[in-house]
A and B are shown apart, each in its own frame.
Chain A
């Protein structure tokens, strides 16, 4: 059988078998609508499962269960918090268009939501990010205005994995009377995430980034009155997010959160070691190789490297032919021929951005996988460089 080494866990992860097992009955015999729990014992089974999942997620991120609002994923959570807070504060408190502060290297779920707000007349500042890939809280402070409603800075960048000083940035936001949101899709279950230690008012979570199912996520909401509902409908999720609960997905998210919490300390160490091992081996075998972004202040599962003199597109295809799955930019814009906006935002020129690849690790990644990648990739780089 063809060997496949999957090093694209930042794009998505496989559902853990234990997660799948826990989800299965909720597709079939436990199919009832949790909102019917008041009069239906079947509904109550589903309701209890949803609430148990809520407790598990709360335990993973250090929040109260009633601050965990289920959504369809990270993108929905990001859209909701940006639009819901800025629109509400603008209409009800400021009586003029409010202001949002975010960073140039955010995920498109944030950037495109911010641009949508801008099109509607709200004001947005995109803070610049330096070569390290880390936002300077002082730059955020300089961007603040009396009308700033929300600061949204991702916890770790999805392409280069750099971890941001969220607690410091939250202090800046709060000093100026603004709310703080972080997109923690790349950090939850990978590094310790505690909403109180971070001092955030909102935090986005996506299940499929830590061995949960796709199509389900969370917005941690500290104060429900700070934002408008995102989906008007039934009374689900305190009326904040209508639509019948995705019970199997939520149950899967809950299980993934439980497993993620149990595994975190061990995985943090293991993946950091694997990641560093791969970089050490690659840099011993390939010359002119550089890490994009700070290597220390980075999630354990991410390695983003620039290999001079090659184009990442043929390298990724050749790696795929050899059974190694990795990424150029993020998976969400893999079809674009443009260079990664994240890499250009941290000062890479187009050529540098197009010679970069992201290798991202997960629970299933083994030392053998790393050895295989370290053995195969240098040959492919030589192959491409030999054409030039």
Chain B
């Protein structure tokens, strides 16, 4: 059965870290009309560690809940540790997301990768 856990519903009904960061180190944006998703994830990075993560989201319950737990996991992590966060780990934090929702919830991980890529490109540009 494709039913959400209570943990997912609770997370979605009071999501953490909705918002934006004024001068983010990196931004990941995803728009998908077929999935009715519009997502922007902002991260701040300081001395190789993520210090803050916020997002704006129009999308499904699974994606909102996943972004919420992801945004709470990120602060304090190195870039490599952040990149290691995957759907199977995030789903576990929500007491298991229905498998049919993994694809859409996966936009959270994709957005994180895009934000880190953006941060790294900016870093190279500054270094260059």
Residues of A within 8 A of B (CB): 309-311, 313-314, 317-318, 321, 335, 337, 349-351, 354-355, 384-388
Contact = CB atoms under 8 A, between A and B. Distances in A.
Contacts of B87: none
Contacts of B2: 335
Contacts of B58: 309-311, 384-385, 387-388
22 contacts: A311-B36, A311-B58, A311-B59, A311-B60, A313-B60, A313-B61, A314-B59, A314-B60, A314-B64, A317-B9, A317-B12, A317-B61, A337-B100, A350-B35, A350-B36, A351-B33, A354-B35, A384-B58, A385-B58, A387-B56, A387-B57, A387-B64
Given A314-B60, A354-B35, 14 more contacts: A311-B58, A313-B60, A313-B61, A317-B4, A321-B9, A337-B100, A337-B101, A350-B33, A350-B35, A351-B33, A385-B58, A386-B18, A388-B38, A388-B56
Q: Is the interface of B mostly helix, strand, loop or mixed?
A: mixed
Contacts of A318: 12-13
B127 interface: no
Contact of A314 (B12, B18, B100): B12
Interface string B56-74: 1111110010000000000
* 9 nearest A-B pairs in the assembled complex, by CB-CB distance: A388-B58, A354-B36, A314-B61, A351-B36, A313-B60, A350-B34, A387-B57, A311-B36, A387-B18
Interface in B13-56: 13, 15, 18, 33-36, 38, 56
A341 to B, nearest CB: 14
A270 B57 CA distance: 39
Contacts, number: 50
Contacts of B85: none
Contacts of B9: 317, 321
Given A321-B13, A335-B2, A387-B15, A349 B59 contact: no
Contacts of B61: 313-314, 317
B80 to A, nearest CB: 29
B93 interface: no
Nearest to A316: B61
B86 to A, nearest CB: 21
B104 interface: yes
B3 to A, nearest CB: 9
Nearest to B65: A314
Contacts of B13: 318, 321
Contacts of A385: 58
A354 B100 CA distance: 16
Contacts of B12: 314, 317-318
A158 to B, nearest CB: 21
Nearest to B57: A387
A321 B61 CA distance: 13
Nearest to A386: B18
Contacts of B34: 350-351
A28 to B, nearest CB: 34
Contacts of A386: 18
A335 B1 CA distance: 9
Nearest to A335: B2
A385 B57 CA distance: 9
Given A314-B64, A349-B33, A351-B33, A388 B57 contact: yes
